[in-house]
Structure 1
Amino acid sequence: MKNEERGDYMEPVKNATTVRFTSPLFSGMVYAFITMAISSLIYSFVLTLTNQSEDSLTFFAYLIHAFAIFIGSYACGKRINSRGWYYGGILGLVYAIIIILIGFLTMDNGISLHTLFALAVAYLTGALGGILGVNHTK
């Protein structure tokens, strides 16, 4: 006797649950921190497996953060569909403030002119990513 004849055949799942973030800023931050973590792991493997000196660590750390802000603001702009420069810039500032707070709390870094420059670059990188995300054709 077949399963269909007994009436115990399986119905396809129509209402599967998916994880969806409602806030574009929050989803952009998640994308940014995931990108930062993966990029940092890749760079640490490169440092481990090659004879590259750790003198370039500061430059690549800034590059990884800029890339993470760009990816996060791009994802945010893609979801928001308007004012990508605004939301991308906000995302860049929030990301930079979180990183600056982590540096302040763990290594006692203070606020200097260099910190303000990093905030400005984070805002501009986020604004660019948000603009490109809004203008991305589907």
Structure 2
Amino acid sequence: MSYSKNQNSSSYFIDIIRGAFLGLLLTFILIIIFTIILTYTKLSEEFIPLINTVIMILGITSGAILTSRKLERKGWLTGGLIGILYFLIILIINKIFIKDFTTDIYLLIKGFIAILIGCIGGMIGINIK
């Protein structure tokens, strides 16, 4: 019985990782689309932070909904873990590619938003039939 429990636990965390990477995939696709729109239109660059936050929310929500729907249990926990993992991966990518990347209150707020949105997405996903 212990082996079965560990196997289910490892499968659960693999699903969390898949959910986070699914959200990241959607994020990168949306960033490419936004970059093309920004390049070929007169859209002001002042909208970049807002659009990036919306893209983050869409990425986390999609990963949390699809994963929670598949697992059919622990929706808020699943979504919250996906939000945390997604945010940590984005944080690492930013640290690697942005030389003057700084940690400030806005980053902490975005981290909180990532967890909250993940929890909400997980609760939505578990209730979708």
TM-score interval (norm. to shorter): 0.7 to 0.9
Correspondence for 1:6: none
2:32 is equivalent to residue 41 of structure 1: yes
1:42 offset after TM fit, Å? Answer: 1.4
1:67 matched to 2:58: yes
For residues 81 and 129 of structure 1, the distance between their equivalents in structure 2, rounded to whole angstroms, comes to: 13
Larger Rg: 1
Shift of 1:121: 0.3
- Per the alignment, residue 122 of structure 1 pairs with 114
Higher RCO, Cα 8 Å, sep 6+ = 2
Shift of 1:34: 1.5
Q: Could you tell me the TM-score, scaled by structure 1's length?
A: 0.78
Deviations 1:45-93 (A, max 9, x none): 2112211111211111111111100101111111111111001001101
Normalized per residue, which structure has more helix?
A: 2
2:113 is equivalent to residue 113 of structure 1: no
Q: Tell me if the contact between 1:74 and 1:88 (Cα under 8 Å) persists in the aligned partners.
A: yes
How far residue 117 of structure 1 moved from its aligned partner, in angstroms, is 0.8
Q: Which residue does 1:10 correspond to in 2? A: none
Q: 1:26 Cα shift?
A: 2.3
Structure 1 position 24 matched with structure 2 position 39 = no
- Separation of aligned partners in 2, 1:32 and 1:134: 17
Could you say which residue in structure 1 is the equivalent of 2:8? none
Q: Structure 2 residue aligned with 1:94, among 85, 88, 94? A: 85
- Deviation string 1:6-39 (CA, Å, 9 cap, x unpaired) is xxxxxxxxxxxxxxxx532122123201211111
Aligned to 1:132: 124
**For this pair of structures, how many residues does the alignment match?**
116
TM-score by length of 2: 0.83
Task: Describe the SS at the equivalent of 2:33.
Answer: helix
1:35–1:68 CA contact under 8 A, matched in 2? yes
Structure 1 stretches (4+) deviating beyond 6 angstroms?
none
Unaligned runs of 5+ in 2: 1-10
